[in-house]
């Protein structure tokens, strides 16, 4: 049986920490796009997958568990929340 490959997520890494209103990497990796090195906590609240490019081949990725299921992420649920 072939296994389905899932992307690495910030939900799975011990190095992802919330500071103020952002999720940052304690190892210093840039998680956001453009000039912003972090991901806003609003993305967590909406239950977005948080599968950022920087994590996919990161040598410092410290896996703490399996990916969260879509229905286990976030606390803001509405009709426009498209994960």
The predicted pLDDT at position 12 comes to 95
Sign of CA dihedral 19, 23, 29, 34: negative
Q: How far apart are CA 17 and CA 12, in angstroms?
A: 11
Task: Give burial (CB, 10 Å; 0-12/13-18/19+) of 20.
Answer: exposed
The predicted pLDDT at position 4 comes to 53
pTM (two decimals): 0.76
Per-domain residue ranges for the chain?
1-59
Nearest Cα to Cα of residue 7 among 47, 37, 50, 71: 50
In order along its 83 residues, the chain shows pLDDT tens digits of 444 557 999 999 999 999 989 999 999 999 977 776 778 999 999 999 999 999 999 999 999 988 888 889 999 876 455 55
Q: How far apart are CA 11 and CA 79, in angstroms?
A: 23
């Amino acid at each position: 049986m072939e296994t389905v490959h899932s992307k690495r997520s910030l939900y799975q890494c011990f190095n992802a920490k919330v500071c103020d209103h952002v999720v940052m990497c304690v190892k210093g990796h840039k998680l956001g796009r453009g000039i912003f090195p972090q991901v806003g906590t609003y993305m967590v609240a909406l239950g977005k997958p948080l599968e950022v490019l920087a994590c996919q081949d990161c040598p410092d990725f410290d896996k703490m568990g399996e990916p969260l299921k879509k229905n286990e992420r976030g606390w803001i649920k509405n009709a426009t929340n498209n994960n």
